[in-house]
């Protein structure tokens, strides 16, 4: 089998696993950098390999609009197109359709919307989203879903019904394929009965992996954690579990404790472009005057290229001079910070004897005591 998941060790709900794919094994839990338009903003594939990235996410909505999945397929698929020989995951475009585009009509068949690029009328259905992702050639791709506001029960109820029906249509359009794994997406907002209904429908269809969608999109952190407490156990223990769009270091720690294996988020590169970095003591603004003469790296002991070569003073200079280089250097650090965070949690799970809980408690105590500076 080209795709299969094995649990190496568990620590209560958390688990260290390996998800085998045609482009290599993914050691979980892991964080995937986001390459929305077939590129992780400001970071070269060489640097992604150096910091230990094993999986990259690309965005179906954006690539559907530009340059088009047919063009990418004609040029050898995403792996060749973006010069990345490790696994790639694509989302379905559902979230972007509902958050970026001006929607003309949502119906049970799909969504008609206007492109944010040129205003042209476009259409996405489960079958179209499936075909586009097949043409992109990602190792893992997602069912087309409706992502509702997480605290609106009426909308979430309708979204669960549509997402469930669309999941079956995606599966029908993508029978068993040893080269591409189609994941189902659990929806239901913060409502336990809706998450249960969504999970039951997905399990009835059957997928090689499952995602938790519709979180970190407006609910509080406490609501997100409470939802994970009841919705993650609804998903099969022998399949990978993917929490979509979550990347804050504290959220990653809490979600790993609750059994999530895969994560992605634009946060580390987005805040880097605004001069901010992750540190064990919270998020730090590198443009602040206090760093002007600081000869220390962003984080003492960090093994990323940025921290092993450049000082805070130099990075602040680049930011104030409006150079492009800090976008790259700060992104490299932020991504490596999250990947090291995941590596540490995996090592703690493998070590056992309560080491994961101890690590998470110590990490959160220090990280949450820090204040943006």
Catalytic residues: 91, 264
Task: Estimate the crossing angle of helix 153-173 against helix 192-205, to 10 degrees.
Answer: 10
| Cα of 88 vs its chain's centroid, Å | 11
| Cα 73 to Cα 69, 77, 82, 128, 302, distances in angstroms | 6, 4, 12, 15, 39
- Radius of gyration, alpha carbons of the chain: 20
User: DSSP of 149-199, one letter per residue?
Assistant: -TT-HHHHHHHHHHHHHHHHHHHHHS---SS-EEEEEE--TT-HHHHHHHH
Angle value at C-alpha 44, between 39 and 47, nearest 5 degrees:
130
| All residues at 6 or more sequence positions from 336 whose CB lies less than 8 Å from its CB, including other chains | 51, 52, 302, 303, 304, 306
The answer to whether 208 and 3 are in contact (CB under 8 A) is yes
The total of other beta-carbon atoms located within 10 Å of residue 283's CB is: 18
- CA pair distance 199, 182, nearest whole angstrom: 15
Cβ-contact 284, 275 below 8 angstroms: no
Tokens coding 253: 């720690």
């Amino acid at each position: 089998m080209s795709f299969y998941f094995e649990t190496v060790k568990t620590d209560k709900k958390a688990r260290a696993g390996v998800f085998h794919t045609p482009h290599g094994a993914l050691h979980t839990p892991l964080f995937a950098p986001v390459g929305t338009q077939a590129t992780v903003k400001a970071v070269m594939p060489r640097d992604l390999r150096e910091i230990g990235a094993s999986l990259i996410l690309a965005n179906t909505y954006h690539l559907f609009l530009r340059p088009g999945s047919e063009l990418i397929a004609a040029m050898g698929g995403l792996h060749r197109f973006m010069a990345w020989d490790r696994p790639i995951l694509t989302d379905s475009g559902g979230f972007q359709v509902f958050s970026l585009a001006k929607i003309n009509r949502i119906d049970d068949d799909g969504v008609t919307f206007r492109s944010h690029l040129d205003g042209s009328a476009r259409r996405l259905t489960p079958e179209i989203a499936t075909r586009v992702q097949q043409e992109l050639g990602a190792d893992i791709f997602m069912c087309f879903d409706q992502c509702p506001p997480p605290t609106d029960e009426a909308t979430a109820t309708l979204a669960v019904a549509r997402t469930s029906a669309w999941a079956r249509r995606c599966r029908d359009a993508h029978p068993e394929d040893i080269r591409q794994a189609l994941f189902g997406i659990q929806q239901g907002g913060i409502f336990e009965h809706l998450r249960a209904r969504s999970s039951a429908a997905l399990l009835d269809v059957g997928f090689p992996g499952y995602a938790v969608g519709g979180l970190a999109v407006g609910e509080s952190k406490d609501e997100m954690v409470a939802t994970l407490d009841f919705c993650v156990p609804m998903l099969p223990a022998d399949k990978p579990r993917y929490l979509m769009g979550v990347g804050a270091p504290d959220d990653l720690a809490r979600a790993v404790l609750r059994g999530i294996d895969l994560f992605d988020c634009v946060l580390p590169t987005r805040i880097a472009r605004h001069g901010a970095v992750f540190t064990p003591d919270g998020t730090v603004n590198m443009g602040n005057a206090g760093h002007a003469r600081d000869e220390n790296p962003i984080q003492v002991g960090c093994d990323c290229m940025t921290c092993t070569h450049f000082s805070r003073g130099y990075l602040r200079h680049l930011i104030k001079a409006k150079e492009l280089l800090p976008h790259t250097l700060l992104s490299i650090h932020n991504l490596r910070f999250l990947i090291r965070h995941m590596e540490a949690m995996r090592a703690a799970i493998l070590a056992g004897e309560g080491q994961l809980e101890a690590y998470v408690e110590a990490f959160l105590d220090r990280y949450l005591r820090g204040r943006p500076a």
